[in-house]
């Protein structure tokens, strides 16, 4: 008895003429991917964090080393004094969209989307603020297994792999993926550990690029 192995692209029901649906991609290191693998793309790199005190501040305290969490929104955060105090005081941290990230105390480590300790020299007064700019370098653009818990771009759908690819440590590989204008067979797609809701979200992202799961 002979058993026929799966052929590359068996998940593909239809695609656009020519090579419109396909792209040559670079698979990142340390990946084991199979035909029909749901892919993510590394789009976000390391963070650069720059604090700048407002020129009209009364207080002369400063922020030392500031870090940003991997999933932190990029843009300008505002660290605003809301309750002054002698060698102390309270502040709030506003995200780039203006929503509250959290509140903290001068001279006590703050841990939120951004992380720092605000030092006090001349006491701050209410309304003093420091702007903290968070910018992320561009990611590698390489493809990995889709992971909805990721923060570097892999949490977003980026394609379906044609064929199988395995890369070692420090080793990348070229491959072909379906990234737009196609129909795929949902039962033949390869996922990581996603639940039904996470799969539906990824397929909705695919549908936005006119890749429809049947």
DSSP string spanning 168-190? -TT--EEEEEE-SSEEE-GGG-B
70: pLDDT strictly greater than 80:
yes
The strand pairing partners of 41, in sequence order, are: 143
Mean pLDDT throughout 179-197?
Answer: 95
Q: How far apart are CA 156 and CA 150, in angstroms?
A: 9
pTM value? 0.83
Mean pLDDT throughout 130-148?
Answer: 97
For 76-125, the pLDDT digits (tens) are 999 999 999 887 899 999 999 999 999 999 999 999 999 999 998 888 99
DSSP code at position 118: B
> Please, what are the domains in the chain?
12-43+139-213 (2.40.300.10), 46-137 (no CATH)
CA neighbours closer than 13 Å in the CB half-sphere of residue 80 = 14
Mean pLDDT throughout 19-40?
Answer: 97
Instruction: Give residue 157's Cα distance to chain centre.
Output: 12
Binned at pLDDT 50, 70 and 90, residue 1 comes out as confident
pLDDT of residue 122: 87
With a CB cutoff of 8 Å and minimum separation 6, the contacts of 117 are 63, 64, 107, 108, 109, 110
Q: How far apart are CA 19 and CA 177, in angstroms?
A: 11
Mean pLDDT throughout 155-173?
Answer: 97
pLDDT of residue 4: 67
Looking at every residue in the chain, the average pLDDT score rounds to: 94
Binned at pLDDT 50, 70 and 90, residue 190 comes out as very high
Give buried/exposed letters for 108-142 (b at 16+ CB in 10 A, else e): eebebbbebebebeebbeeebbbebbbebeebbeb
SS3 90: strand
pLDDT of residue 5: 66
pLDDT of residue 64: 82
């Amino acid at each position: 008895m002979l058993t026929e192995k799966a052929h590359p692209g068996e998940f593909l029901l239809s695609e656009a003429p020519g090579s419109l649906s396909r792209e040559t991609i670079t698979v990142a290191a340390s990946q084991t991917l199979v035909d029909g693998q749901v892919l993510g793309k590394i789009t976000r790199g390391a963070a650069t964090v720059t604090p700048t005190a407002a020129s009209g501040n009364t207080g002369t305290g400063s922020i030392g080393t500031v870090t940003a969490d991997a999933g932190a929104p990029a843009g300008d955060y505002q660290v605003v004094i809301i309750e002054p105090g002698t060698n102390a005081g309270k502040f709030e941290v506003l995200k780039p969209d203006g929503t509250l990230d959290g509140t903290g105390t001068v001279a006590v480590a703050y841990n939120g989307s951004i992380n720092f300790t605000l030092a006090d020299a001349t006491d701050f007064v209410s309304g003093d603020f420091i702007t903290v700019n968070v910018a992320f370098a561009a990611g590698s653009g390489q493809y990995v297994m889709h992971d909805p818990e990721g923060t570097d771009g892999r949490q977003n759908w980026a394609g379906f792999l044609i064929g199988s690819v395995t890369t070692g440590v420090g080793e990348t590989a070229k491959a072909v993926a379906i990234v737009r204008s196609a129909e795929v067979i949902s039962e033949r797609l390869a996922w990581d550990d996603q639940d039904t809701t996470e799969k539906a979200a990824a397929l909705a992202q695919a549908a936005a690029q006119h890749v429809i799961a049947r």
